[in-house]
Chain A
Amino acid sequence: MTSANTGTEMGSFASRFNLQQYVVYLGFLAIFLFFAFMLRDSGFLTVRNLSNIVLQTAPVTIMAIGLVFVMSAGEIDLSIGSIVAVSALAAAVTIASYGMAAGIVAGLGAGILIGLINGALVAYVRLPSFLVTLATMGLFAGVSRSMTDLRSISVTNEAFTGFFGSGSLLGVPSLIWWTVIAITIGHLVYRETRFGAHVLATGDNARAASVSGISVPKIRLAVLTISGGLAGLAGLLYAGRLQAAKYTLGETDLMTVIAAVIVGGTLLNGGKGSIVGALVGSLMMGMLNNGLILMGLSVSDQMIVRGLIILTAVAVSLRDKSR
């Protein structure tokens, strides 16, 4: 029995070891060392700069958790950027007249509601999530613009901005708390619950899941709702940190989130993914942003470099799949 167990462990280690599993950590390390060396005199390695990176990536990390669930189920959510803006604006407008609690409900509620709409159209009307969320991305980008006539709404409620942005607890900034809590819960749900297993099975082989008694439509509805809710939370974090909400919030996050998730080892076609990987992917994207700015690259050059890195990540991800 002992020898059989050892065999099992060896087998599991061998089957789990592949390049894709570790590329995110290696990539993270490589980029970190590169910047640490290149920018040693530009303040990259200061505690202040490094903690800033973590604070800035919090909303992207939160969205990435939702997208890991969505992509693992074989779907995609392109609307998260628009949800961020709608949620942040809904919260900001509501806080001004009804206070913090109502603002949180409005912000999260908007995200969950849009997620439910996406999910219902995908699960029960059986439209492809790519098209549904492409449409709602445009639709709610319009809604966020018309909500406040393109104006920025400031958020002055200090309890709110402390809770979601600049505050801290036990000396740890609240944005780091949000990141740690969301990653921990997300990882547990994804790896250790029946729901997580059913999400993976659905993305892997929907027919097999269905004949095994898994309600595939419910899983599709659930993952898109989770993604909407988490994008709503990301909207609250932006509003809290910037003490304002505007339709431009989240506008450019979609590509960063998708990149973080894919670099983190989640397959585009579903059936396999990692929440912790998405966190590392998100930090890597944040570090890249920060380092490229410190290096003095122009905005267009930053975009080109980031695009190339995403391409590399996708190539590695697909290479593993066809193994």
Chain B
Amino acid sequence: MNPSAPILQLQDIRKHFGGLTAIENFSLEVFPGEIVALVGDNGAGKSTLVKIISGVHPPSSGTITIEGKPVTMSNATMGRAHGIEVVYQDLALADQQTVYMNMFLGREPLNRIGLLDRRRMIAETEKLVKELDVRIPSAHATIRDLSGGQRQGVAIARATHWASKLILLDEPTAALGVAETARVETIVQSLKQRNVGILIISHSLDQVFKLSDRICVLRRGKQIGVRETRKTDKNEIIAMITGLQQQ
């Protein structure tokens, strides 16, 4: 397979909610092993775009291409079938269940007699948690007993476990303290080695510049531009986000 072929291609994506145009004419490519940051003010349409890519909201028009094949999706299950995983802003974890049950929520493996294969779930969870260096007490721990950073780690580990092509992270550190933010950033950076595409939404430009390879700016549903991170600076990105010229 050609390593430089994009894993995800969006072409002329539009999304209307009734009379409201949430996204117009959006086009973007994400390559394997690449981190693309999506930035823009509140209400710019970032979460809507994530929902379009994950299949929750089908676009009003435009095409989504995954590894060269155009796809149509009408719900999140179909997005997952295409190897796309989302870390939602609210994490979507079942708080009173164990880490390993959350890891396999909706996709629990069964043993030969058709019952839950807990041993396998626990083993795979422990392996992944170790690989990603997510510091949780154990695979048996209940989610509500974990800290915010640990929960975020579990949600990211789950997405990592299942994503074969693309991981979408919607403001993964918005609710975290300094130390926990740093840990999550380390984990996100380590995901690059898995050769999946990563699209991360963040309001922190420091974080965006630390993590991303490219930055895509959205303003009121319009795509303002895409920049290579090392060839731009914060002033340019802020100008693009706000629509005001700096200096």
Which B residues touch A207, using CB under 8 A?
Answer: 90, 92
Number of interface residues of A (CB under 8 A): 28
| Segment with Cβ contacts to A, from B2-10, B39-47, B101-109, B214-222 | B101-109
Identify which of B56, B116, B145 contacts A193 (C-beta below 8 A).
B116
Which B residues touch A188, using CB under 8 A?
Answer: 115
| Segment with Cβ contacts to B, from A8-16, A147-155, A254-262, A274-282 | A8-16
Identify which of A7, A12, A197 contacts B101 (C-beta below 8 A).
A197
Bound complex: CA of A198 vs CA of B102, how far in Å? 11
| Segment with Cβ contacts to B, from A31-39, A79-87, A211-219 | A211-219
Q: Is the CB of A198 within 8 A of B139?
A: no
Which A residues touch B139, using CB under 8 A?
Answer: 8
Q: Is B61 an interface residue (CB 8 A)?
A: no
Q: Is the CB of B141 within 8 A of A11?
A: yes
Q: Is the CB of B105 within 8 A of A209?
A: yes
Which A residues touch B137, using CB under 8 A?
Answer: 11, 15
Which A residues, 213 to 268, have Cβ-Cβ distances below 8 Å to chain B? Answer: 213-214, 267
Q: Nearest chain A CB to B10's CB is how many angstroms away? A: 21
A206 and chain B: residue at smallest CB distance = B94
Q: Is the CB of A194 within 8 A of B110?
A: yes
Q: Is B80 an interface residue (CB 8 A)?
A: yes
Q: Nearest chain B CB to A265's CB is how many angstroms away? A: 12
Known: A8-B126, A200-B97, A208-B105. A213 touches B141 (CB 8 A): no
Q: Is the CB of B115 within 8 A of A192?
A: yes
Known: A15-B145, A211-B76. A205 touches B92 (CB 8 A): yes
Which B residues touch A196, using CB under 8 A?
Answer: 116
By size class, the interface of chain B is: 20 to 34
Chain A contact residues: over half helix, strand or loop, or mixed?
helix
Known: A194-B110, A209-B105. A12 touches B94 (CB 8 A): no
Q: Is B142 an interface residue (CB 8 A)?
A: yes
Q: Is the CB of B140 within 8 A of A11?
A: yes
Known: A193-B116, A211-B88, A211-B92. A201 touches B97 (CB 8 A): yes
Q: Is B96 an interface residue (CB 8 A)?
A: yes
Known: A11-B140, A209-B105. A272 touches B94 (CB 8 A): no
Which A residues touch B138, using CB under 8 A?
Answer: 7-8, 11-12, 15
Which A residues touch B90, using CB under 8 A?
Answer: 207
Q: Nearest chain B CB to A75's CB is how many angstroms away? A: 16
Bound complex: CA of A207 vs CA of B90, how far in Å? 10
Bound complex: CA of A211 vs CA of B77, how far in Å? 7
Identify which of A4, A192, A271 contacts B126 (C-beta below 8 A).
A4
Bound complex: CA of A208 vs CA of B90, how far in Å? 9
Q: Is B95 an interface residue (CB 8 A)?
A: yes
Known: A11-B141, A207-B92, A208-B94. A213 touches B106 (CB 8 A): yes
Known: A4-B126, A205-B92, A271-B97. A193 touches B115 (CB 8 A): yes
Bound complex: CA of A152 vs CA of B122, how far in Å? 55
Q: Is B93 an interface residue (CB 8 A)?
A: yes
Bound complex: CA of A133 vs CA of B116, how far in Å? 32
Q: Nearest chain B CB to A288's CB is how many angstroms away? A: 29
Bound complex: CA of A188 vs CA of B116, how far in Å? 10
Bound complex: CA of A214 vs CA of B91, how far in Å? 16
Bound complex: CA of A16 vs CA of B141, how far in Å? 9
Q: Is the CB of B108 within 8 A of A197?
A: yes
Bound complex: CA of A225 vs CA of B43, how far in Å? 42
Which A residues touch B77, using CB under 8 A?
Answer: 213
Q: Is the CB of A204 within 8 A of B76?
A: no
Bound complex: CA of A8 vs CA of B95, how far in Å? 19
Q: Nearest chain B CB to A277's CB is how many angstroms away? A: 15
Bound complex: CA of A207 vs CA of B126, how far in Å? 26
A16 and chain B: residue at smallest CB distance = B140
Bound complex: CA of A8 vs CA of B88, how far in Å? 28
Bound complex: CA of A213 vs CA of B54, how far in Å? 13
- B107-143 to A contact mask, C-beta < 8 Å, 1/0: 1101000111000001000100000000001111110
Which A residues touch B95, using CB under 8 A?
Answer: 204-205, 271
Bound complex: CA of A88 vs CA of B141, how far in Å? 45
Q: Is the CB of B108 within 8 A of A194?
A: yes
Identify which of A16, A192, A205 contacts B94 (C-beta below 8 A).
A205
Can you pick out 11 interface pairs between chain A and chain B where the beta carbons lie within 8 Å of each other? A8-B122, A15-B137, A15-B138, A15-B142, A208-B92, A208-B93, A211-B86, A211-B92, A213-B76, A213-B77, A213-B80
Binding site for A on B (CB under 8 A): 56, 76-77, 80, 86, 88, 90-97, 101, 105-108, 110, 114-116, 122, 126, 137-142, 145
Q: 14 new A-B pairs (CB below 8 Å) besides A204-B95, A208-B91?
A: A8-B122, A11-B140, A15-B137, A200-B96, A201-B105, A209-B94, A211-B56, A211-B86, A212-B92, A212-B105, A213-B80, A213-B106, A214-B106, A272-B96
The 10 closest A-B CB pairs, nearest first, are A212-B106, A12-B140, A11-B138, A204-B94, A208-B92, A213-B106, A271-B96, A212-B105, A192-B115, A8-B138
